[in-house]
Chains A and B, each alone.
Chain A
């Protein structure tokens, strides 16, 4: 399991119901079931990963964040997790809404486009930056909706989401030290991890079908 998945697992209360969107090889849901006694399930778009997960006895369905979340009932999970995928979905705002409709909490990690290396490369080369995190050319990248940590916070504020916890993490998934200042985190954090909740679930109109 990646280091940032360990950080995610630590955010999740033992024994809770978890949906992991983009569950990959299923290591997070496997960990949550075995170590934390969670009812953890996955959605994965890559059929080979799905087959591998199910063949390991993990409850994973083939599907994706954009099209399959609408079919889950309200509050069917305590936590809905989206790892390193938000920047690649068709409608990130709608996906977040769905996550916080079907889950009481959302855990979201994404690569931070505000990292200094990207800023510097764009400034000096005048071309789309290429780094270890952002390593596909612009015409081939699946990352159609990149954002910075500050962009994400602005969206959370627009949508009235409660930021319960957040942290910057480096590419290895190690927790980075930029906790006190969002601006510093936005400059030096390669990835970001957020634990979100709804502010006033009853007051949000349109949130329920």
Chain B
């Protein structure tokens, strides 16, 4: 690990030209605003069948992105769901056409707070004559999970797909999956919401608020106009990530990975006065601290603070029963979508009880539901990690659903 500390300004991440679809007409948002133009960055894997019936849309979580099953161009790390997506994997790219897009409000190529705000006049002209617009920053309109789904919907239509065989996602991706099934029921043959809930709980809103306050409290945030100073609120964003990361794990997983083990700080941190670790004795810190700091400092390299604020807010507004007096069944009445709800025993961020609320609502709506709680001690992040029962569940459900959909792709059916 590099001896970078949380207060350092990170190096500028490499400029990457993400694959994008541009929608000049824009998108009408839940807040009433028209956001135009809209760009959606996306990746696809596998081949769309001639009938166009084998598309699976993957919805990513809060800090995920479209690089599901390939090396990430910014971080150089493997795709975030390569375990699940690829040739011969449960989401088999030999059989299915897999789409994943960066969410609206994100910072990996889709329109978000870092995008230029064309609704304002250009404040300057560069030497080559191009107009320069300020980024949206905190003026980016508030968006909802459904707005993200609408943006994906325009992309799916652009790709010429009339009906998705399946929509799948964990955590915030699961929220999008539910919004898909509720907003475009005829377009979703199967929906797989994982480690998610039909509403964002008070506890989760509270966690998000602490994350946001950490960003606000960083002097480098500068009211959200940090581009003016050329720095980013790295410390605030890192603390937000550290706090959130704890909620993705479980006490058991932390104990198993780190226990109370301590490690020696690097010499450079000691000699530099060590403002970072005023509580360390003789340059020693707990391994779990070191792990979280690494999580925080690597996160700021790839994520935009204003995007983090926008997306966490969208999660907070998630309540699929809000327009139906809190009835979670109403959005799904008459649905013909096949659902597979999955939760994990040690997930305390989106506990099984919230999946059960969803399952019971789907039962009230007479929907076709499967529901599995996977035994795991890995917490909320279990859906990203090695859980053989989970893989088997997803593979089996998808295979069964493909049979019901009359899909005949390759010999593996």
Contact = CB atoms under 8 A, between A and B. Distances in A.
Interface string A40-65: 01000001001101111111111100
Contacts of A127: none
Given A71-B364, A72-B363, A55 B395 contact: yes
Contacts of B403: 57
B373 interface: yes
Majority SS of interface residues in chain A?
mixed
A159 interface: no
B404 to A, nearest CB: 8
Contacts of B389: 51, 55
Contact of B370 (A59, A68, A72, A76): A59
Contacts of B400: 56-59
Interface string A18-46: 00000000000000000000010100000
Contacts of A41: 368-369
Contact of A68 (B361, B363, B395): B363
Q: Which of B340, B366, B395 has most A Cβ within 10 Å?
A: B366
Given A54-B340, A55-B392, A56-B396, A47 B363 contact: no
Interface string A103-133: 0000000000000000000000000000000
Q: Which of B341, B372, B373 has most A Cβ within 10 Å?
A: B372
Given A41-B368, A71-B360, A72-B364, A57 B373 contact: no
B399 interface: yes
A73 interface: yes
A105 to B, nearest CB: 17
B364 A73 contact: yes
Given A54-B340, A56-B396, A61 B363 contact: yes
B402 to A, nearest CB: 8
A53 B392 CA distance: 10
Given A51-B389, A68-B360, A59 B396 contact: no
B393 A55 contact: yes
A91 to B, nearest CB: 18
A118 B370 CA distance: 39
Q: Which of B361, B374, B392, B400 has most A Cβ within 10 Å?
A: B400
Contacts of A57: 396-397, 399-401, 403
A39 B375 CA distance: 28
B359 interface: yes
B408 to A, nearest CB: 15
A54 B372 contact: yes
B325 to A, nearest CB: 17
B89 to A, nearest CB: 15
A54 B363 contact: no
Interface in B353-395: 359-361, 363-366, 368-375, 389, 392-393, 395
B64 to A, nearest CB: 25
B364 A51 contact: no
Interface in A55-93: 55-63, 68, 71-73, 76
Contacts of A51: 372, 374, 389, 392-393
Contacts of A63: 359, 371
Contacts, number: 67
A100 B98 CA distance: 43
Contact of B359 (A47, A61, A73): A61
B55 to A, nearest CB: 19
B338 interface: yes
A59 B363 contact: no
Q: Which of A47, A57, A68, A76 has most B Cβ within 10 Å?
A: A57
A51 B371 CA distance: 9
Given A51-B393, A56-B396, A57-B401, A76 B372 contact: no
A82 B366 CA distance: 19
A72 B364 CA distance: 5
Contacts of A76: 366
A50 B389 CA distance: 11
A47 B373 contact: yes
Nearest to B355: A62
Contacts of A62: 371-373
Contact of B366 (A50, A55, A58, A73): A73
A59 B368 contact: yes
Contact of A47 (B368, B375, B392, B395): B375
Nearest to A74: B366
A53 B400 CA distance: 10
A186 B368 CA distance: 38
A55 B340 CA distance: 11
Contacts of A73: 364-366
B372 A59 contact: no
A142 to B, nearest CB: 21
A76 B372 CA distance: 22
A37 to B, nearest CB: 12
Interface string B141-155: 000000000000000
A56 B398 CA distance: 10
A59 B363 CA distance: 12
| Interface pairs A-B: 9 shortest CB-CB | A57-B400, A55-B396, A61-B371, A55-B392, A71-B360, A76-B366, A71-B363, A54-B370, A59-B370
Interface of A: 39, 41, 47, 50-51, 53-63, 68, 71-73, 76
6 contacts: A39-B368, A57-B396, A58-B370, A60-B371, A68-B363, A73-B365
Given A41-B368, A58-B370, A68-B360, 7 more contacts: A41-B369, A47-B375, A51-B372, A54-B393, A55-B392, A57-B401, A76-B366
